[in-house]
Amino acid sequence: MNFLHLFNQSDAIGRAVALLLLLMSIASWVIILWKAWLLRRARGDALGAIAAFWQAGSIAEGAGRAAALDRAELVTPLIAATQTPEAGTLAAAGARAQQLTRLLRDALHGALARLQFGQVLLATVGSIAPFVGLLGTVWGIYHALTGIAGSGQLTIAQVAGPVGESLIMTAAGLAVAIPAVLAYNWYGRIVGHIEAELEGFALDLRQLLAQ
């Protein structure tokens, strides 16, 4: 109720700050919930797909087994990248080991880009939301004191209400930032674990096929 009252009593700048915090909160929670679903599925699928690949009797069979488990498409692009490039192109130039290094590196970068999607937004929200809330507080206090001064009367009761309502903006900024920071750190650890598994798999593939 206080936040709604503050929003209704604010000017254009105060309302813009409140709407910005609301948009950042919605965007960060969408990313938080989406990445929770994605990473929970991706980690188990990646481990299962890698294990299934090595239990196959051939590269083709391993690719089929991995594809059946790799719903996030993190492992299958690495396997597909091991195909021999078209003859007569720069991609086919050089030793086979060099070709595999380049192809697996590009496929690994693509997989990691999907895993890391949204991390920048969470980091941005976690960094700037407290300052946006502080800006709303400062502006709200200024706006409240200006209105009180214009009325010609100044008492503690008149100051405490508007100033207290303005401080809600600081709390709102922290409420937006804290979940984003926690999610960024937690998801960063999970992505790091999956990245290590994919890098190890890519290295094993290179050593297997470069011989």
pLDDT of residue 1: 44
Cα separation, 141 vs 162, in Å, equals 7
173 within 8 A of 134, measured Cβ to Cβ: yes
Between 168-209 and 12-54, two packed helices, what is the crossing angle to 10 degrees? 20
Distance of CA 209 to the CA centre of its chain: 34
Q: What is the pLDDT along the chain (211 residues), one digit of tens a residue?
A: 455 655 666 677 778 888 899 999 999 999 999 999 999 889 888 999 999 999 988 888 988 999 898 888 899 889 888 887 666 666 666 677 788 888 889 899 999 998 999 999 999 999 999 999 898 888 877 777 776 666 666 666 556 666 666 788 888 899 999 999 999 999 999 999 999 999 999 998 888 877 6
What pLDDT shows up at residue 189? 94
